[in-house]
Structure 1
Amino acid sequence: MTTHQSDETVDVAIAHDYLTQRGGAEKVVLALQRAFPSAPIYTTLYEASTTYPEFADSRIITSPLNAVGPLRRSHRLALPFLAWAAGRTRVDARHTIVSSSGWAHGFPTTGSKIVYCYSPARWLYQRDAYLGTSKLTLTGAALRVLAPFLKRWDRRASKTATKYFAISTVVQGRIKEAYGIESEVLPAPHSVDMSIAQEPVDLSTLNLERGFYLCISRLLPYKNVDVVIEAFNSLGLPLVVVGAGPEERRLSSLAGENVVMVKDLTDGQIQWLYARCVAVVSSSYEDFGLTPIEGATHGKPSIVLRWGGFLDTILEDRTGVYFDEPTPAALAAAVTKSIDVEWDEDTIRGHADLFTEAHFARRLREEIARLDADPGRGGGDVTP
């Protein structure tokens, strides 16, 4: 359900940048909704057809920007306008839990503002990695012109938070560098529901005699999916790539006969792939990296870049192996190494249990209880 205004102050509200896609951040919002089932969700844009269907049962309050259909269908077109929209998405709640990668922490709030940060805005501080450098787009040009204004807005918005949580230690450092704020690391929860009925995916074009490897990723430049495809082309091993994004056409042109690319899968199909893959693979510069944890719930090891959030979620040679640079040769060597490891599925599943929704929700409830005991601490409004 979508609502465009609120006439009541609630105990807890949830805020998120935009609900227009399916990814790890949106899974965290669903976990927040399960932890606080009566909480409304405030967001700049909501497009039911391109995000998780579970949001249809939520009370969603959108910004005025949501009335523009093309922006709902392509949130990147909206990037130059999202600071304006965030400043006009006022949250009426005693406590607001903000799921943010750069916009929602600027929503004005009437109570405390607890920010769960995936990263300070990539489109400001890591713009080339986020947008790509292969061609100059209208959105990219607009962001370059607006960057000084947006950085001032972004830093001002950060100061309105009552509490900052970081998704990983690398993001904790980035928050300190960008905002001068000390944050607490709280790993994102996995939301794998093992009771969901698995649904098969058509892999009939692959030779599955040696099994297949699985890469689940948005198809963005910094995700380095091209490295994964080229490594498996050289190895000749079957690879399934799940995801969509602006890199899709280019990556499809790189894929050999041993690679299948699919998108818009159901949760049951994703579970089916996790349960049957040999290992999960990622060459991404990942701030957290949820897919290795989701794979681990099925006892599957991971092969990942030694960087960022993966350093918090992988036990080397026990739940996965690292490679040191995002190149096809380095990844191919790590895949070869992983084949010789005798993986213990119970150890891998046990490690995944450290990243549960119960732990995540418990820490947020503790923070809310602390703020209730100290009513002098609250959030503040910010206007771009």
Structure 2
Amino acid sequence: MRIALVHDFLNTWGGGEYVLKVFTELYPEAPIYSLTYKQAIVDEFFPGRKIIPSFLQNYPGMPDKFKYYLSFMPKAIESFDFSDYDVVLSDSSAYAKGAITKGATKHVCYLHTPTRYLWSDREEYIKNAPIPLPIIGRSVVKGIVKKLQKWDLEAAKRPDVIIANSKYIAERTRTYYHRDPEYVVFPPVNVKQFKIGTPGDYFLVLARAEPYKRTDLAIQAANKLGLKLKVVGGGTKIKYLQEMAGPNVEFLGRVSEEEKVRLFSGCLAFIFPPKEDAGITPLEAMASGRPVIAYSEGGALESVVEGETGEFFSDQTVDSLVEVLKVFDPSNYNPQKIRQHADKFDKEIFKNRIQQIVNDALSSDKR
């Protein structure tokens, strides 16, 4: 079977890139098509892989300035030729789902989310979008977004099979794309990578320092209660977060995989404040036998079991999180049972399911 992998952008490392890495384990000979890539990301996480970028890779300022080229993205993803492949397996939170296949070539899309800045976060994006030149106003951005919405709706019809990464995203797919995903398969965790250890005296947050991750809630709650908090990850809002943090909050930046394992196994609990599409980091915490304190919306509702593997706070506010932290008792949780729950999401189960779906798509006559 000749298979091509398609990804939006290989410019950073996150949950979507982890899913792609699992796909590369499943199909080690498959090339990776991506609109743009950063060599440092490829060298660290995809060494030796064949990466095929779009024409955008050579545009001025790329790949760092990719947000300035949004209107070129549809043409870029459509420029790839997949006629030599039996299957295209894309993972998409934006443009990869719009890859065009012809003839007998099947397209299976693992959908992380309908494009946020075109649908659920549209108004916020228009308000805060990066503007490359002062002469270009918000009305131009609004026009670009409207044009991209039209393309995005059409692109969502192209895959032969859509796999939603959670029931939450399946519902959003119906809402925004008016299409029922054929499957729901939650993202994986490499359970064997993580270990049950002796918990220390700190809570843990691991996320990119971006607004929607809501790390600010965990920091402010820790400040209020005087709790020790370790924050892992970098991003555009790291200085903002550091400025609000008290002496009880420690910023560790990016850490190695070995250090990540140690931090998860040693935390009192993992705090997960965002409304996330699915969420891999809660699975990593549970694979370490540690409970999760999560906001009670989005994909966390499908992975965390209240009272058994963690707790929920009902409102995305500091006060709501504080109320849960006040009464949280880590001794109420059995690390072995928490890890057993994480086993349900192990990457080997995920790989078998994806492989079955791809094989079924290849043998199907449906186009």
TM-score (norm 2): 0.90
Per-residue Cα deviation, 1:19-54 (whole angstroms, up to 9, x for no partner): 111111100000111111111111101102246712
> Which 10-residue stretch deviates more, 182-191 or 259-268?
259-268
Alignment RMSD (CA, Å) = 2.3
The answer as to 2:327 corresponding to 1:337 is yes
Aligned counterparts, 1:204-353, within 5 A? 211-339=201-329, 342-353=332-343
Give, in whole Å, the separation in 2 of the partners of 1:347 and 1:284: 25
Per-residue Cα deviation, 1:98-154 (whole angstroms, up to 9, x for no partner): 100011011222411111111100010123587495x56316945422111101111
**Structure 1 counterpart of 2:80:** 89
Q: How many residues align?
A: 356
**Structure 1 counterpart of 2:175:** 177
**Structure 1 counterpart of 2:118:** 124
Deviation at 1:83? 2.1
Deviation at 1:297? 0.9
Give, in whole Å, the separation in 2 of the partners of 1:332 and 1:157: 43
Aligned counterparts, 1:20-169, within 5 A? 20-50=11-41, 53-68=44-59, 70-91=61-82, 92-110=84-102, 111-127=105-121, 131=125, 135=128, 137-138=130-131, 141=138, 143-169=141-167
Deviation at 1:195? 7.9
Asked if structure 1 preserves the Cα contact closer than 8 Å seen for 2:108 and 2:361, the reply is: no
Letter in 1 for 2:209: L
Give, in whole Å, the separation in 1 of the partners of 2:176 and 2:273: 25
**Structure 2 counterpart of 1:373:** 363
The 1:292–1:43 alpha-carbon spacing in structure 2 relative to 1, beyond 3 Å, is: same
Asked if structure 1 preserves the Cα contact closer than 8 Å seen for 2:112 and 2:164, the reply is: yes
Deviation at 1:165? 0.7
Asked if structure 2 preserves the Cα contact closer than 8 Å seen for 1:21 and 1:51, the reply is: no
Give, in whole Å, the separation in 1 of the partners of 2:130 and 2:194: 44
Give, in whole Å, the separation in 2 of the partners of 1:66 and 1:107: 17
Runs of 5+ unmatched residues, structure 1: 1-9, 199-208, 379-384
Asked if structure 2 preserves the Cα contact closer than 8 Å seen for 1:20 and 1:75, the reply is: no
Runs of 5+ unmatched residues, structure 2: none
Q: SS at 1:108's partner residue?
A: coil
Letter in 2 for 1:138: I
The 1:128–1:256 alpha-carbon spacing in structure 2 relative to 1, beyond 3 Å, is: farther
Give, in whole Å, the separation in 1 of the partners of 2:28 and 2:143: 41
Give, in whole Å, the separation in 1 of the partners of 2:245 and 2:91: 34
The 1:112–1:173 alpha-carbon spacing in structure 2 relative to 1, beyond 3 Å, is: same
Asked if structure 2 preserves the Cα contact closer than 8 Å seen for 1:213 and 1:281, the reply is: yes
TM-score (norm 1): 0.87
Q: SS at 1:246's partner residue?
A: coil
Asked if structure 1 preserves the Cα contact closer than 8 Å seen for 2:190 and 2:347, the reply is: yes
Q: SS at 2:57's partner residue?
A: helix
Asked if structure 1 preserves the Cα contact closer than 8 Å seen for 2:163 and 2:184, the reply is: yes
The 1:11–1:244 alpha-carbon spacing in structure 2 relative to 1, beyond 3 Å, is: same
Letter in 1 for 2:268: V
Asked if structure 2 preserves the Cα contact closer than 8 Å seen for 1:238 and 1:259, the reply is: yes
Give, in whole Å, the separation in 1 of the partners of 2:43 and 2:314: 34
Give, in whole Å, the separation in 1 of the partners of 2:319 and 2:343: 33
